[in-house]
Chain A
Amino acid sequence: MAYRVLIVDDSPAMRTFVRRVIELSGFELSDCFEASDGWQALDVLRAEWVDAILTDINMPGMDGQEFLRRLAEDELLRSIPAIVISTDATAHRIASMVSLGARGYVTKPFLPETLRTELERTLGVPCV
């Protein structure tokens, strides 16, 4: 089964990198959507169903924390697993994002297999 993923990051370079790493990792990706902040991500989600969301925290416009709050308030969208990708590896930041509804957290820098493992874990993909 191949999955549809939304990448939310204000850096176009980072979005390109994350997409490339997902592909390099061997994760089965069918469609990849991109948004530069939470507002744009919500627009994408109104038009497209995705299986997982990868989101940055610090973004101009709507940041990752507010984006997670909005997802949690939406009866339909709250079921989509969101994984935070951030440079902040402090325990309290991770706990804070999990409390807002993040199902996974990947700290930069990361290896391709780390991202794949986190995606597969949150999607419940059986290990082979």
Chain B
Amino acid sequence: MSEALFQQALRDSVDEVLEKMFFVEALGESPDSASAEGEPPAAVAVELTFDGDPPGSLTLWVTSAAARPIAADFLGCDEEAVSDRQMEEVVCELANMICGSLLSRVESATTFHLAAPRIVPPAASRATGRDTSFCAVDLSNGTLTVAVTTGTPTCPEPAQSAS
């Protein structure tokens, strides 16, 4: 799959998950604050790895100002009633759904497996690299950034041709 198609699949996955499961509309693309130089904004960050073809990892950052209202919408309660733990659980679920949606689009012919998402320090989780795709979108209260890094494909050896 080309870089452009992968990027579009990532953006489509982010938009669909936010809209259907979190009742949130992405307002447009945002400068990639998570990988920018300097101090990143306060955020909740989640990382999860996946096995598949290719394997890789997804890291998601939601600025703190956006994470709580997203969690409140998901859980159907007031922002004040959302605990920090619930907020982290919801952001983990958001990362899980975006990753699953993305892999279903780009790895439809293979079986993939998602590891459990885990909360990571935002500053330590800045993903960079040649094989990293980013999607950063503005929300009404902040920014959501997703970085997906893919590794070496684990394709089986081609079968010997009978000659």
Residues of A participating in the B interface, judged by any CB pair closer than 8 Å: 11-14, 16-17, 20, 58, 60, 86-93, 107-111
Q: A109-B16, A109-B101 are in contact. Are A90 and B111 (CB under 8 A)?
A: yes
Q: Across chains A and B, which 10 residue pairs bring their CB atoms closest together, nearest first?
A: A87-B100, A89-B104, A109-B20, A13-B89, A109-B21, A20-B76, A109-B17, A13-B90, A108-B97, A16-B75
Specify which of A20, A86, A108 lies most central, judged by the most chain B CB atoms within 10 Å of its CB.
Answer: A108
Selected contact of A93 from candidates B71, B75, B111, CB within 8 Å: B111
Q: A13-B93, A20-B76, A109-B16 are in contact. Are A58 and B113 (CB under 8 A)?
A: yes
The contact size tier of chain B is 20 to 34
Tell me the smallest distance from the CB of B31 to a CB of chain A, in Å: 26
Closest A residue to B115 by beta carbon equals A58
Tell me the smallest distance from the CB of A34 to a CB of chain B, in Å: 14
- Whole-angstrom distance between the alpha carbons of A96 and B125 in the complex? 35
| Cβ B75 vs Cβ A87 within 8 A | no
Determine whether B108 belongs to the interface, using a CB cutoff of 8 Å to chain A.
Answer: yes
* Binary contact track B108-127/A, C-beta < 8 Å → 1, others 0: 11111110100000000000
- Whole-angstrom distance between the alpha carbons of A58 and B76 in the complex? 24
Determine whether B96 belongs to the interface, using a CB cutoff of 8 Å to chain A.
Answer: yes
| Cβ A90 vs Cβ B112 within 8 A | yes
Determine whether B74 belongs to the interface, using a CB cutoff of 8 Å to chain A.
Answer: yes
Tell me the smallest distance from the CB of A4 to a CB of chain B, in Å: 21
| Cβ A87 vs Cβ B101 within 8 A | yes
- Whole-angstrom distance between the alpha carbons of A110 and B86 in the complex? 21
Selected contact of B74 from candidates A13, A87, A93, CB within 8 Å: A13
| Cβ B101 vs Cβ A17 within 8 A | no
What are 15 A-B pairs at a CB distance below 8 A? A13-B75, A13-B86, A13-B89, A17-B21, A17-B93, A20-B75, A58-B116, A60-B116, A88-B103, A88-B112, A89-B101, A89-B104, A90-B107, A90-B109, A92-B111
- Whole-angstrom distance between the alpha carbons of A89 and B97 in the complex? 11
Specify which of A17, A87, A93 lies most central, judged by the most chain B CB atoms within 10 Å of its CB.
Answer: A87
Determine whether B136 belongs to the interface, using a CB cutoff of 8 Å to chain A.
Answer: no
Set of chain A residues within 8 Å of B103, measured between Cβ atoms: 87-88
Determine whether B146 belongs to the interface, using a CB cutoff of 8 Å to chain A.
Answer: no
Within 8 A of A (CB), among B28-70: none
